[in-house]
Amino acid sequence: MRRRVTALILIAGTMIVLYGGHSFYIANKNPLLSDNSQVINTHKLPPQKHFEKNWETIKNEYYDSGFNHQRWSKWRNHYQNKIKTADDVKVATETMLESLNDPYSRYLTKDEFLKQRTSITSKIYGIGVSIVNDAGKIKIINIIDQTPAQFADLHSGDIILAVNGNDVNGLSISEVSNLVKGPENTLVTLDILRGQSKITKQIIRKEIAIKSIKSQVEDKIGYIQISSFISSTVPNEFLEALENTADTKGLIIDLRGNTGGLLSNAVFLANLFIDQGRLVSIVGRNGYRYDVTAKNTNLNIHKPVVLLVDQTSASATEIFAGAMKDYHRAKLIGTKTYGKGMVQKIIPMPNETGLNLTIAKYLTPHGADINKTGIAPDIKVHFTKNDVETGTDAQLESAKDMLNKIILSKAQ
């Protein structure tokens, strides 16, 4: 299996690491884990009041009560009676957040907040292709099955020249994505270069079902690839993958390129393999700590597991990998993970905007703080340029070898 090329999908916006807490594994007993990110705050406030509400929310919710060694009141005083427009709110709030030296906390405009919610619900409207920027050209590298792009006979390798008459030369893939996406059942026109021929395609946008998990079986080994923990459909998708691989003797779970998603998804998956004990600890403001513990699911999986990880495996992915490693429930192969041990909460704010705010950090079950350090694999194997050129995958082959050895040792 050739490793999946990381690309921006035109049916999705930029997906950042999210925090979510609704699951029967994570009860509302813990104030850190309450989550109302699905709610849009339609309350209208004038710009100055809106800014002050943002200031107050950060003051009350941000995990570092020292605010990066500064008096938080200075920002309210600095912008008093100076906020006149929505742009002023955005600039002032972003300036405050930048002072925290926290790359994960940010202000969400109305459009950005909507994209966050869409990422979680997986209700995406577009055409169904993946693109990359290839030497300045926007190239289609994948057509998703049963989507408008496939029905319109778009091909992998097609180069997008224009969208609805707008030349895409010099635009980022995110900007091209925003041009292509739109309301369901509306038309988008693409000018395509295929070889030496220019082609124009009119395509009707539709809702695209994004699957985060793929599975297959080879020689009694189950392979499950989890590309993201963002979607609320991940638990059901993973249970389906387990059913598809039920007749195997071991599992390889591929977490490479998975930048994270919902905390509740990571906890759900970990609890399938770990039936008792602490799965993750959430440490909030002033040292408040909440331990998320395993529950009896009657679905515990006891077959051997190998996890594939790399430097882009982050956040919720590291929660899952950290729990599996701490309990010796899986062997990790690949390279050190990213090291994002902070928890964000999406907070709806007035005027349909929001804050993506760091409210806590997490620790692995054995108390390790992996922020900025990552999780080291049990066996380090790099994915090399030679793998790309030859279509091989040294990391995956190492995982197969290790899993077969474990299976053989258990059989003796």
166-213 per-position pLDDT tens digit: 999 988 877 898 899 899 999 999 999 999 999 999 999 998 877 889
Superfamily grouping for domain 123-208:
PDZ domain (2.30.42.10)
- Secondary structure (3-state) at 393: coil
- Secondary structure (3-state) at 186: coil
Q: For residue 411, give the nearest of 263, 335, 317, 303 by alpha carbon.
A: 303
The secondary structure element, H or E, covering residue 396 is helix 394-411
Q: What residues does CATH 3.90.226.10 cover in the chain?
A: 213-411
The residues annotated with a catalytic role in the active site are 315, 326, 340
Q: Which two tokens stand for residue 128?
A: 């169904």
Spell out, as residue ranges, where the chain has pLDDT lower than 70: 1-38, 118-123
**Looking at domain 213-411, which of 3.90.1010.20, 1.10.150.130, 3.40.50.300, 3.90.226.10 is its CATH number?**
3.90.226.10
pLDDT at 34 (0 to 100): 47
Q: Which two tokens stand for residue 184?
A: 């369901």
Q: What residues does CATH 2.30.42.10 cover in the chain?
A: 123-208
pTM: predicted TM-score of the whole model, two decimal places: 0.74
- Report pLDDT digits (tens) over 309-351: 999 899 999 999 999 999 999 999 999 999 999 988 889 999 9
